[in-house]
Structure 1
Amino acid sequence: MGRTLLVTNDFPPRPGGIQIFVHKLAVRLPKDDLVVYASSWKGAREFDAEQPFEVVRDRTSVLLPTPRVARRAADLARAHGCDAVWFGAAAPLGLLAAGLKKKGIERAVALTHGHEVGWAALPGARQMLGRIGRHVDVSTYLSEYQRVRLAPLLRNLERLTPGVDTDTFHPDVDGSTVRAKYGLGDRPVIVCVSRLVPRKGQDMLIRALPLVRAKVPDAALLIVSGGPDRDRLGTLAKGQEKDVVFTGSVPWTALPEHYAAGDVYAMPCRTRRRGLDVEGLGIVYLEASATGLPVVAGDSGGAPDAVLKGETGYVVDGRDVAAIADRLTTLLLDRDLARRMGQAGRAWVEKQWQWDTQADRLAQLLHP
């Protein structure tokens, strides 16, 4: 088996679901067969020192397919004897594939996420995505929604999804410390673990909470993570400060106990900007299911693929406050139903969404 150069902006300690996706795959590849070329980020030095493979950081916080970056990537590939390149996201760094192949790279594999669907809908970006497709040997997709929209532009599409670490996210995780920290006690808690950006729908949860509390008076909303939408959400939650709790960013290692602090997981995402801002899949739903929680998902992009509708949770219109509130209220009031959905979600994740399976698939795509 040859060696692989991973070229990516999406790599920890930069936060986000794509970053977790890429890293979880990377650590499961043979450590001596991988070299990572990534953008810089606060805390990278300490993080990189703990990795089982070499990580080379660029001086910039965002890698772009410029001549300088192309030269650096080619130099790293040659110095480390890499015959394959793996792009953590197809757009825009997949544009480097053509040049790297001229420098000796034999195979290129690129992951796609939600933003490539947005590229496919814009004329100029669509042309660049087509260029990527001509030089990348395999592009991966998360959901059928994605595949249909990317198929005209990217060749050899293969499904590769995130997995879940079921030893880390499991129903026996204790969320009592988190509940105590935020004064939640034994209140019924709706938890949302996701970056604070408009697409994710935390604003709709805040709007739905009064409707939920009309039937579940003690219900609280725990919003976990940080992000650029924090100030707007805080303004929206004025008057509900005792019932809407913002944790800010939390370490990865603390995520399981934050999920476990909830009774129901909800992230009612919705597609925005006329289809340019869309959910690729939503690993958070699967992490919540692995923790034993029923989930309420939005209907954006591939998000419904992370839910067995009516079995592990519900899919709702992410713009319908009443529908969101109705599903949340049902799950908070019917604890037997919530427990059955949580158990079904755990079983489904154990069967279908293991990281080792996905990493083996990636290894086959890189070195068939």
Structure 2
Amino acid sequence: MREIVIFRQNQFRVSEVFIAQQAQALRRYAPLYMGRMRFGAGPEGARALLLRDLWQHAAWPRMVAQMATRDPAPYLRLLGKRRPALVHAHFGVDGVYAMEVARRLDVPLVTTFHGFDVTLSDRRFLCSPAWANYPLHRRALARRGQLFLCNSHFLRDQALAHGFPAGRTHVHYIGVDCSAYQPRAQADETPVILHVARLVEMKGTEYLLRAFARVADRHPGLRLAIIGDGPLRGRLEALAGALGVGARVLFLGARPHAVVMEWMRRAMMLVLPSVLTASGRVEGLGMVMLEAAACGVPVVASRVGGIPEGVAEGRSGLVVPPRDVEALADAMDRLAGDAAMRAAMGHAGRAFVVERFDLRRQTEMLECRYDALLQAHGGVDSP
């Protein structure tokens, strides 16, 4: 197996398990995770090279300096004598750092766009020291990157609008592991509406709370479980109390992915009421919807960004206009009151993700792209 670098400055975030899931599903290439810091344990046995481990003393000043200059030397020092076949960066903001590493190694660079990296306004990028290099060097990334992958057709359109080349920019759904997420039994279902999201404006949690308050009186045993944390948590908890549903809303905070999936299998529906924000942040696809569908759980979601690509509308879930509390409440009410509809949508959702989003098939397609890149780069045979 040939080794490749999976480049993400903040490795193993609980909200980004899809990166490691894709990498661990590789059959013919071995992932080597590289970045600035570790935010979680990562997969069992995963090999990770991190600047925080390299710099035991005065780490922050060194990391800030590297952040500003994009100097690849610290990463090359971490690699030592390793010579990976290619570098695969996740998020465009990481691609502008990874391209310097790939250039020094003389290997192809793959960059995957997941959402904010092709939707957020440049002003927002320039306000963050960690992101400011991205709009400054985005054109160079577009010229020098060998392959750009987008997690939805919506994101590809956004990437093209930002100047990325059409011939090297393609849609590639990461997918979900349909063998690991088996359909739950209907007996496992409990009267819980599940929302899994970072508590920020884009996720539309405020509208979910307002819709739940309308539905709660008609379904006395119904509860809303919110998994995730973020800057809006205090405000959202206060809103739930003001709406009179505070006792029926569970703010569970961030939880490991395995715990999220336990709640998923017990939920009667997953709700993702995302919105487009003034800054340009919007849902690129909504991986949690695919996980719900794989488990046979129906979805209620907003018609915004790439979300419609992840729902078989009317068959695996219901799609409503963003910020429309009444429409959201009506959809939740319909599903909560109709067990047969939930079962039918759960079954259809499972078939939908198996057909279009199976991780193993998608990863096999990714490896074929790797093969083609390496052959074009140096005439090297695939592993």
TM-score, length basis structure 2: 0.83
Match of 1:118 in 2: 119
Counterpart code for 2:223: A
Match of 2:164 in 1: 154
Per-residue CA deviation, residues 82-117 of structure 1 (Å, 9 max, x unaligned), is: 2311102222x2123553344232210001011122
Q: For 2:202, what is the secondary structure of its paired residue?
A: helix
Match of 1:365 in 2: 369
Fraction of identical pairs, as percent: 27
- The answer on 1:56 being equivalent to 2:49 is yes
- The answer on 1:79 being equivalent to 2:81 is yes
- 1:134 is matched with which residue: 125, 143, 146? 143
Match of 1:324 in 2: 328
Distance (Å, rounded) in 2 between the aligned partners of 1:343 and 1:3: 38
Provide closer, same or farther for how the CA distance between residues 288 and 101 of structure 1 changes in structure 2, counting only shifts above 3 A: closer
**Offset at 1:280?**
0.8
Counterpart code for 1:20: V
- 1:34 is matched with which residue: 31, 34, 50? 31
Distance (Å, rounded) in 1 between the aligned partners of 2:196 and 2:99: 38
Distance (Å, rounded) in 2 between the aligned partners of 1:137 and 1:37: 19
Provide closer, same or farther for how the CA distance between residues 345 and 30 of structure 1 changes in structure 2, counting only shifts above 3 A: closer
**Offset at 1:32?**
6.7
**Structure 1 consecutive aligned stretches of length 4 or more whose deviation exceeds 4 Å:** 60-66, 119-127, 173-176
Provide closer, same or farther for how the CA distance between residues 154 and 120 of structure 1 changes in structure 2, counting only shifts above 3 A: farther
Q: What are the equivalent positions in structure 2 for 1:106-255 lying under 5 Å apart?
A: 106-119=107-120, 126=135, 128-152=137-161, 153-155=163-165, 156-172=168-184, 188-238=191-241, 239-255=244-260
Mean Cα deviation higher: 160-169 or 121-130: 121-130
Provide closer, same or farther for how the CA distance between residues 305 and 66 of structure 1 changes in structure 2, counting only shifts above 3 A: same
Mean Cα deviation higher: 99-108 or 119-128: 119-128
Distance (Å, rounded) in 2 between the aligned partners of 1:127 and 1:249: 33
Per-residue CA deviation, residues 61-95 of structure 1 (Å, 9 max, x unaligned), is: 9897544651122344562112311102222x212
Counterpart code for 1:154: F
Match of 1:22 in 2: 19
**Offset at 1:297?**
0.9
Distance (Å, rounded) in 2 between the aligned partners of 1:30 and 1:168: 16
Structure 2 segments unaligned to the other structure (5+ residues): 53-58, 127-133, 373-383
- The answer on 1:339 being equivalent to 2:343 is yes
**Is the 1:173–1:291 Cα contact (8 Å) retained in structure 2?**
no
- The answer on 1:7 being equivalent to 2:17 is no
Per-residue CA deviation, residues 315-346 of structure 1 (Å, 9 max, x unaligned), is: 11220100000000011112211211111001
- The answer on 1:308 being equivalent to 2:309 is no
Q: For 2:247, what is the secondary structure of its paired residue?
A: coil
Counterpart code for 1:90: G
Distance (Å, rounded) in 2 between the aligned partners of 1:101 and 1:227: 34
Distance (Å, rounded) in 1 between the aligned partners of 2:21 and 2:39: 20
Counterpart code for 1:25: Q
Match of 1:259 in 2: 264
**Offset at 1:57?**
1.7
